[in-house]
């Protein structure tokens, strides 16, 4: 989608540090890491947020989680947090569905 920075990352227009890629999803390191390991997993299909997931496109969410588990195994991550901010009040700043994967430090709960 025009004007979506993650679509521009997918097209190569904006550079990124790739972690993993397959036909349906792409993973890359976050520009502003919030933990020693912090990468994002995004579907290649433009979906604005978790609020836009429907019965018709929800298979991609499971696929992203399978990719996360695979990447975590490959990176040797034993413990990690998966976060998807949905909507501005929840902290979403890029409106292309993405899953943050954070690892390598103690995490607090509840999140801020
Ligand atoms: P959110 O605020 O939950 O929508 O997450 C968006 C994330 O995208 C933030 O953690 C940003 O640091 C990250 N981000 C924005 N632009 C880029 C970029 N060009 N490359 C990598 N990460 C980015």
pLDDT tens, 11-33? 999 999 999 999 999 999 999 99
Going through 7-98 in order, the beta strands assigned E by DSSP cover: 18-21, 25-29, 37-43, 81-83
45 exposure class (CB count in 10 Å sphere: 0-12, 13-18, 19+): middle
For residue 1, is pLDDT > 90?
Answer: no
Answer yes or no: is pLDDT of 88 > 90.
yes
pLDDT exceeds cutoff 90 at 72: yes
Choosing from 8, 14, 17, 30 the residue with most ligand 1 atoms within 8 A of its CB, the one to mutate for a pocket test is 30
Percentage of the residues of the chain whose pLDDT score is greater than 90:
97
98 given a catalytic annotation = yes
Query: Given pLDDT bands bounded at 50, 70 and 90, which one contains residue 36?
Result: very high
Ligand 1 touching residue 16 (CB < 6 A): yes
Q: What's the mean pLDDT when you consider all of the chain?
A: 98
Closest by Cα among 89, 103, 97 to 37: 103
Going from the Cα of 87 to the center of ligand 1, the distance in angstroms, rounded, reads 14
Is residue 2 over pLDDT 90?
Answer: no
Assessment of whether the complete model's pTM goes beyond 0.85: yes
């Amino acid at each position: 989608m025009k004007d979506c920075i993650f679509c521009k990352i997918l097209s190569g227009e904006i550079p990124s540090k790739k972690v993993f890629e397959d036909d349906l999803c792409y993973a890359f390191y976050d520009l502003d890491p919030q933990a020693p390991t912090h990468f994002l997993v995004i579907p290649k299909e433009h979906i604005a947020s978790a609020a836009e997931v429907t019965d018709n496109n929800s298979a991609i969410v499971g696929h992203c989680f399978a990719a996360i588990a695979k990447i975590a195994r490959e990176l040797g991550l034993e413990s990690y947090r998966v976060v998807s901010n949905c909507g501005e009040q929840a902290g979403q700043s890029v409106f292309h569905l993405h899953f943050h994967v954070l690892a390598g430090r103690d995490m607090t709960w509840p999140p801020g």
